[in-house]
């Protein structure tokens, strides 16, 4: 089959939400700015509980509702205070945090050290995000505005991990009274409070008047779920949204050509990859996994489906992430794939499924992969599903192959290597290849428990080399991150992780 035919791919139609205008009923502050910012994103919130909804579409909403002890400055990339007004390191395994006085949750109750301890303890015991905070041994309350966080061992990324949005501080009394309350009716201490959720359609937030840092610049936020990327672009063009996240590479040209619109873009910290479920045959056979990886022409996918926007991936962490070591991208070699399949006992190939969520660009990548696998005798059936169902079912290990994107939110390799590769993190935490390898565990643990940079460097180098041979994931592409905006949008800062925050953003009328 000629390659030109491979990419005459049949589009998979995803019904887009019918969405309302982006602040057409807005009142102005001094007659200058709209009182509502509307943004479009490709998937709905999976959970409003920040200790469960760790997927980017959820965090893009919940990081306005909740705060964490510390945060990372969007411009300087430096750590800065948030709920903790300051902190001090008492020893290699101990940190003291001083909690701001007078911080209120959205229900009017005061945030104290008891909420901090409760939240971190709860996060440690929540499987989906425990990997962020399970370096913590215990949290001690010294007084209502002071806690000491002790770690099991020295842990270099400790403060960066505490800045991740799903290490959020939640109200102890509210959660104890209603353990599932945060799932659909979140109460936090962040700049915006939750108003309503129309599932698969939209979320409405309103500025919290008692926010410790002062009220947000714009009164209302509306998130619109628009799964199809081309529809997000159209919504941006017509003014139905002020911002559109994750514009496809083809639509970027449309946005760039429109003098009323702006493109924000930067290299991301994300890797897109195919997890091969090692709980199932034949993917428990390394030769089969290697055959699949060598059957994929990553550069062709980048040049065609992604219009050149991306870099072929070798490791599961991107080059901008600490701990990256270049092992070389698996060579596209169908003949080698066929030989490996024959050695593994599959000279005539086999049938399997490949799952992807209903994101247009991801679907097109997987359509290309399906054709490439067919060329070496693997009949892969593509199944497209809603994002929440995709996460739920891959967590349960129902898939054969599944296409994921993962962002290293702390810019430290431990965040990704521990959650995607360590045997203790199978399922919800991120390890959906279900790899359980003693050498992988040893190297991951060595990298995360040492504060000696030379030891960490060597551990991550050895790990990258080992994983390149193991091939539990077929790494595909490092992408750019982008957003489109109306030229009237002011003070928007593109977050390279994807957790864009809007409390300081305004939109001129």
Mean pLDDT of the residues in the chain: 92
β-pairing verdict for 220-225 and 202-207: antiparallel
For residues 457 and 466, give the distance between their C-alpha atoms in angstroms, rounded to a whole number. Answer: 14
Q: Is the pLDDT of residue 325 over 50?
A: yes
DSSP secondary structure letter of residue 69: S
Residues 118 and 210 in one domain: no
Q: Is residue 4 one of the residues assigned to a domain? A: no
Q: How confident is the model at residue 309 (pLDDT cuts 50, 70, 90)?
A: confident
Q: Is the pLDDT of residue 16 over 50?
A: no
- Tokens 């702390």 belong to 410
Residues 414 and 438 in one domain: yes
Q: Is the pLDDT of residue 508 over 90?
A: yes
The pLDDT of 45-71, averaged and rounded, is: 96
Q: Supply the range of the domain harboring residue 377.
A: 268-480
Which pLDDT value is given to residue 308?
Answer: 87
Which pLDDT value is given to residue 449?
Answer: 87
Q: Is residue 10 one of the residues assigned to a domain? A: no
Q: Is residue 303 one of the residues assigned to a domain? A: yes
Residues 409 and 493 in one domain: no
Residues 330 and 286 in one domain: yes
Q: Is the pLDDT of residue 70 over 70?
A: yes
Which pLDDT value is given to residue 25?
Answer: 41
Buried b (16+ CB within 10 A) or exposed e, 64-87: bbbbbbbbbebeeeeeeebbbeeb
Q: Is the pLDDT of residue 431 over 90?
A: yes
CATH number of the domain at 86, please: 3.90.76.10
CA dihedral 183, 186, 190, 193 (to 10 degrees): 140
State pLDDT tens for residues 188-232: 999 999 999 999 999 999 999 999 999 999 999 999 999 999 999
Q: Which of 174, 205, 238 is the last residue of a domain?
A: 174
From the list 277, 246, 281, the residue with the least C-alpha distance to 264 is 246
Give the gyration radius of the chain's Cα atoms: 23
Phi, psi dihedral angles at 493 (to 5 degrees): -115, 120
Residues 442 and 323 in one domain: yes
- Tokens 């359509």 belong to 367
* Residues 6 or more apart in contact with residue 494 via CB below 8 angstroms: 264, 265, 266, 481, 482, 483, 500
CATH number of the domain at 341, please: 3.10.105.10
The pLDDT of 403-417, averaged and rounded, is: 93
Which pLDDT value is given to residue 31?
Answer: 64
Q: Is residue 424 one of the residues assigned to a domain? A: yes
Q: Is residue 24 one of the residues assigned to a domain? A: no
Residues 503 and 440 in one domain: no
Residues 451 and 310 in one domain: yes
From the list 354, 361, 293, the residue with the least C-alpha distance to 327 is 293
* Residues 6 or more apart in contact with residue 461 via CB below 8 angstroms: 325
Total domain count, the chain: 3
State pLDDT tens for residues 109-152: 999 999 999 999 999 999 889 999 999 999 999 999 999 999 99
Give the number of other CB atoms < 10 A from CB of residue 157. 21
Of 496 and 163, the one with more pLDDT: 163
Which pLDDT value is given to residue 468?
Answer: 98
Residues 280 and 397 in one domain: yes
For residues 71 and 163, give the distance between their C-alpha atoms in angstroms, rounded to a whole number. Answer: 5
State pLDDT tens for residues 23-52: 444 444 446 999 999 999 999 999 999 999
Q: How confident is the model at residue 69 (pLDDT cuts 50, 70, 90)?
A: very high
Max Cα separation, the chain? 73
CATH number of the domain at 204, please: 3.40.190.10
Residues 43 and 105 in one domain: no
How distant, in Å, are the alpha carbons of 123, 182, 333 from that of 7?
A: 44, 43, 19
Q: Is residue 12 one of the residues assigned to a domain? A: no
Residues 343 and 439 in one domain: yes
Q: Is residue 25 one of the residues assigned to a domain? A: no
Residues 470 and 283 sit within 8 Å (Cβ to Cβ): no
Please state the three-class secondary structure of 182-196 as a single string. HHHCCCCCCCEEEEE
Q: How confident is the model at residue 5 (pLDDT cuts 50, 70, 90)?
A: very low
The rounded Cα 82 to chain-centroid distance in angstroms is 22
State pLDDT tens for residues 451-491: 888 999 999 999 999 999 999 999 999 988 899 999 999 99
Give the number of other CB atoms < 10 A from CB of residue 335. 9
Which pLDDT value is given to residue 307?
Answer: 85
For residues 419 and 431, give the distance between their C-alpha atoms in angstroms, rounded to a whole number. Answer: 6
Residues 147 and 82 in one domain: yes
For residues 232 and 234, give the distance between their C-alpha atoms in angstroms, rounded to a whole number. Answer: 5
State pLDDT tens for residues 434-459: 999 999 999 999 999 888 889 999 99
Which pLDDT value is given to residue 298?
Answer: 98
DSSP secondary structure letter of residue 148: E
DSSP secondary structure letter of residue 309: -
Which pLDDT value is given to residue 7?
Answer: 34
Residues 275 and 394 in one domain: yes
Give the number of other CB atoms < 10 A from CB of residue 16. 18
Q: Is residue 331 one of the residues assigned to a domain? A: yes
From the list 507, 508, 501, 407, the residue with the least C-alpha distance to 75 is 501
Residue 95 has, within 13 A of its CA and on its CB side, a CA count of: 22
Q: How much of the chain exceeds pLDDT 70, in percent?
A: 94
């Amino acid at each position: 089959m000629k390659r030109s035919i491979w990419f005459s791919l049949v589009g998979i139609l995803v019904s887009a939400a019918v969405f309302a205008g982006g602040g057409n009923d807005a009142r102005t502050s001094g007659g200058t700015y709209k009182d509502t910012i509307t943004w479009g994103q490709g998937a709905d919130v999976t959970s409003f509980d920040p200790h469960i909804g760790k997927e980017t579409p959820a965090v893009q909403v919940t990081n306005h509702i909740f705060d964490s002890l510390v945060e990372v400055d969007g411009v300087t990339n430096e750590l800065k205070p948030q709920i903790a007004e300051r902190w001090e390191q008492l020893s290699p395994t101990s940190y003291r945090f001083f909690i701001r006085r007078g911080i209120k949750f959205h229900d009017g109750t005061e945030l104290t050290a008891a909420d901090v301890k409760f939240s971190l303890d709860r996060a440690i015991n929540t499987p989906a995000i425990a990997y962020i905070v399970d370096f913590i041994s215990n949290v001690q309350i010294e007084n209502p505005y002071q806690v000491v966080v002790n770690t099991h061992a020295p842990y270099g990324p400790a403060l960066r991990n505490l800045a991740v949005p799903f290490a959020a501080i939640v109200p102890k009394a509210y959660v104890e009274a209603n353990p599932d309350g945060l799932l659909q009716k979140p109460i936090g201490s962040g700049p915006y409070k939750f108003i309503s959720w129309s599932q698969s359609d939209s979320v409405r937030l309103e500025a919290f008047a008692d926010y410790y840092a002062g009220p947000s610049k714009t009164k209302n936020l509306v998130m619109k779920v628009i799964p199809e990327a081309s529809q997000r672009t159209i919504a941006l063009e017509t003014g139905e949204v002020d911002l559109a996240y994750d514009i496809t590479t083809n639509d970027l040209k449309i946005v760039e050509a429109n003098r009323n619109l702006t493109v924000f873009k930067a290299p991301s910290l994300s890797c897109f990859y195919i997890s091969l479920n090692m709980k199932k045959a034949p993917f428990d056979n390394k030769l089969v996994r290697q055959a699949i990886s060598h059957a994929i022409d990553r550069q062709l996918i980048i040049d065609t489906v992604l219009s050149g926007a991306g870099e072929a991936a070798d490791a599961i962490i991107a080059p901008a992430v600490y701990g990256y070591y270049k092992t070389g991208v698996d060579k596209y070699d169908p003949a080698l794939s066929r030989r490996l399949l024959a050695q593994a006992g599959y000279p005539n190939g086999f049938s399997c499924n490949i799952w992807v969520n209903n994101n247009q660009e991801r679907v097109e990548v997987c359509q290309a992969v399906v054709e490439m696998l067919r060329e070496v005798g693997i009949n892969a059936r593509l199944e497209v599903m809603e994002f929440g169902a995709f996460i739920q079912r891959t967590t349960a290990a129902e898939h054969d192959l599944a296409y994921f994107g993962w962002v290293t939110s702390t810019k430290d390799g431990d965040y990704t290597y521990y959650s995607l590769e360590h045997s203790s993190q199978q399922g919800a935490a991120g390890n959906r290849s279900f790899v359980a390898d003693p050498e992988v565990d040893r190297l991951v643990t060595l990298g995360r428990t040492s504060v000696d940079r030379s030891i960490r460097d060597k551990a991550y180098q050895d790990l990258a080399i080992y994983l390149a041979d193991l091939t539990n994931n077929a790494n595909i592409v490092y992408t750019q991150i982008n957003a489109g905006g109306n030229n009237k949008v002011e003070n928007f800062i593109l977050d390279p992780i994807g957790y864009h925050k809007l409390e300081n953003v305004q939109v001129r009328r």
